[in-house]
Chain A
Amino acid sequence: MGMSEAEERTREEALDANVRALILAAAQSLEGNPLFKESLRRELEQAVSGVAGAGTVDDDQTVMSTNVGRLVSSATVDDGPGSAARQSIRNAIWRELDSRGSRTGRMRWFPRVLVLGASAVAVAGFFLYPLIWAHTRDGAELTVTQSEAEVSRVRPLFFGLGTRVSNIILTQGETMTVGAGDTISTGAASSATLSFFDRGTVTLYPTSVLTITGVEESGPRVNPSASVHLGAGQVRNLFEDFSFALLTPDVSTTVLGTAYKVDVLAGGHTKITTDEGAVRVDMEGQSVEVGAGEEVVAVRGEALQVLPQRPPRLTIESPLSPEVSSPTVVLEGTTSVDASVTVDGRTVTVGVDGSFKAEVALQPGANRVAVVATSPIGRSVTVELVLLCDC
């Protein structure tokens, strides 16, 4: 080219500055639809209050309405910025490199080198697996999200001749690696999450007791898997490509799909509710599949019956009397832990135990206040209060 190095650098800099300026100019001047922005903001808030947990369903509701909104129907998203996304981006890039290769003859060897390299790594991994994988990643990550949780750890001592029990208390925000033999108990107002190798999470709600009976990271020849025993309480499970088995005192469940929750109820009942995918439930030789939007209550000695999910529980605890003397009233109630609640259209925060609180302004005379609880799959229940304000 006969161009000096300095000249070349100057040209490069000029091109860089110009490309930056042109792209910035071309990419700007956009007018998004303000209505869209506004409504997405609202949807997001709703979705966020709905993500906070999992729950139980009770009978006898006052008013019921089934409302599967746009939000919920479009929220069935499962793979994210993780490996699938990267894989697809990489694929596109390889395709592009490949087509460039056939044009220029330069890049053609590149994908082959990659394939050879990957095969070499796979073969090496096969032999190294027992040395590395089996011992490095055999645990799940426990994070306490609210209040505190106790981990009681039973580990063999002296080559299995005895056992050692230790108890560890974790407080909010703390994490630790837990494995087979560990039992996690959450307190009255506590919650925690268990994360299994980025493949799934189990959310533990208050007063739950969960024992990990087995957990294994994937190796070249092993699929990632875990098994747990839920002694009491309530958990919500979200999985992808993961073999997960959950036992309760009554039933065993196996994940066929993605999101479901399990609730060990008083009196030896277990309720399984599936929001996404499907779950197989086994009890006393019976086996049923609980699909998305369905639930089953397992009772020993009775047939397993799969039914459509019912709307969330919704109880108003205050005010209990329709007559109110002040112009504002604090409305309190409880709902299922995974429900979202609106009071007169306003989204309110639902705590880990399902409680919520909202301040309502009243006009003199009769006021109608609508409280709506909506489950993750969009089934909702409405309670309409009539409050007489003597103010």
Chain B
Amino acid sequence: MESSRDVNDIISERLRRRDPAALPELYDLYGDRLYAFVFNMVDRDHGIAEDIVQDVWLSAVKMIDRYEGRSRPYTWLCGIAIHKVKDHWRRKGRDADRRYDPPSGERAESLELMDSAPLPEDVVEREDTRRIVREALASLPQHYRMMLLLKYVEQMSAKEIGELMEMSVKAVESSIGRAKLALRDRVTGAS
């Protein structure tokens, strides 16, 4: 990340100056990463992800005037993306009917001991492990999933997540703690 910090500062400065040409450059830097974030938030559906991502970038063009330079450009984009993803969920009405169905198939026994020792790399990288974790993530309450992705994939600090979600750092930390336990329980099949 260190090497891209300068680039971030430069782009941030240009966004603050309302220079729209900074956006295609931002896209070259973060287009894939933002796509992956949205994709994981919408149950890995490429069609939906594409619609939302397109919407996010076009919104960024329109809202360049509102970039204040307080957050990194990517965090700003994530803020827009979170809003669009929430819109999508609202339209689908998933908040209302989401219930946790215990994953149907077999559990990977090797995942049982998640909080006693580091899992071996070959277990983590196995295709069935990935599938189980994806299902578990998909079954989590939406804001848990969002926080886990922001923390572990986007590697944002609790402070940054707090700013995006308007929560205190403490509240973010305890939510992530609960989210981790919920994920563990779903991955290992515990109730």
Residues on A facing B (Cβ under 8 Å):
11-12, 14-30, 32-33, 36-37, 40-41, 43-45, 47-49, 51-52, 71, 74-75, 77-82, 84-86, 88-90, 92-93, 95-96, 143, 145, 173, 193, 195, 198, 201, 238, 349
Question: B143 to chain A: closest CB distance in Å?
Answer: 5
A sample of 19 cross-chain residue pairs with beta-carbon separation below 8 angstroms, ordered by A number, consists of: A21-B121, A22-B111, A22-B133, A26-B133, A27-B36, A30-B44, A32-B36, A32-B46, A41-B28, A43-B58, A44-B23, A44-B24, A44-B27, A51-B62, A80-B63, A80-B83, A81-B79, A88-B83, A92-B89
Contact B183 A26 (CB under 8 A): no
Contact B118 A18 (CB under 8 A): yes
Known: A41-B27, A81-B79, A88-B83. A11 touches B115 (CB 8 A): yes
Instruction: State in angstroms the CA–CA spacing of A90 and B143 once bound together.
Output: 10
Query: Which residues of B lie under 8 Å from residue A12 when comparing CB positions?
Result: 115
Out of A11, A23, A49, name the residue touching B152 (CB < 8 Å).
A23
Could you tell me which residues of chain B, from 48 to 86, have a CB within 8 Å of some CB in chain A? 49-50, 53-55, 57-59, 61-66, 76, 79-80, 82-83, 86
Residue of A nearest to B65 (CB): A201
Could you tell me which residues of chain B, from 22 to 37, have a CB within 8 Å of some CB in chain A? 23-24, 27-28, 31-32, 35-36
Tally of contact residues, B, Cβ under 8 A: 71
Contact A93 B57 (CB under 8 A): no
Could you tell me which residues of chain B, from 81 to 127, have a CB within 8 Å of some CB in chain A? 82-83, 86-87, 89-90, 95, 111, 114-119, 121, 124-125
Query: Which residues of A lie under 8 Å from residue B79 when comparing CB positions?
Result: 80-81, 85
Known: A15-B114, A20-B152, A27-B149. A81 touches B57 (CB 8 A): no
Query: Which residues of A lie under 8 Å from residue B44 when comparing CB positions?
Result: 30
Contact A96 B143 (CB under 8 A): yes
Out of A19, A75, A81, name the residue touching B61 (CB < 8 Å).
A75
Known: A43-B58, A44-B27. A51 touches B64 (CB 8 A): yes
Contact A11 B143 (CB under 8 A): no
Query: Which residues of B lie under 8 Å from residue A78 when comparing CB positions?
Result: 62
Query: Which residues of A lie under 8 Å from residue B165 when comparing CB positions?
Result: 86, 89-90, 93
Contact A173 B17 (CB under 8 A): yes
Question: B24 to chain A: closest CB distance in Å?
Answer: 5
Residues on B facing A (Cβ under 8 Å):
17-18, 20-21, 23-24, 27-28, 31-32, 35-36, 39-40, 44, 46, 49-50, 53-55, 57-59, 61-66, 76, 79-80, 82-83, 86-87, 89-90, 95, 111, 114-119, 121, 124-125, 129-130, 133-134, 137, 141-143, 148-149, 152-153, 164-167, 180-181, 183-184, 187
Out of A26, A40, A88, A195, name the residue touching B31 (CB < 8 Å).
A40
Query: Which residues of A lie under 8 Å from residue B55 when comparing CB positions?
Result: 74, 77
Instruction: State in angstroms the CA–CA spacing of A110 and B134 once bound together.
Output: 31
Select the residue from B58, B80, B141 with max chain A CB neighbours within 10 A: B58
5 shortest A-B CB distances, which residue pairs? Answer: A81-B79, A85-B83, A26-B133, A15-B115, A48-B20
Contact A25 B130 (CB under 8 A): yes
Out of B18, B21, B125, B184, name the residue touching A19 (CB < 8 Å).
B184
Query: Which residues of A lie under 8 Å from residue B143 when comparing CB positions?
Result: 89, 92-93, 96
Residue of A nearest to B178 (CB): A100
Select the residue from B20, B83, B114, B183 with max chain A CB neighbours within 10 A: B83
Instruction: State in angstroms the CA–CA spacing of A11 and B184 once bound together.
Output: 12
Contact B58 A84 (CB under 8 A): no
Contact B148 A19 (CB under 8 A): yes
Question: B187 to chain A: closest CB distance in Å?
Answer: 7
Out of B23, B27, B66, B129, name the residue touching A22 (CB < 8 Å).
B129
Query: Which residues of A lie under 8 Å from residue B111 when comparing CB positions?
Result: 22
Residue of A nearest to B167 (CB): A93
Out of A22, A40, A143, name the residue touching B119 (CB < 8 Å).
A22
Out of B18, B24, B90, B133, name the residue touching A88 (CB < 8 Å).
B90
Residue of A nearest to B35 (CB): A32
Query: Which residues of B lie under 8 Å from residue A52 when comparing CB positions?
Result: 20
Query: Which residues of B lie under 8 Å from residue A75 when comparing CB positions?
Result: 58, 61-62
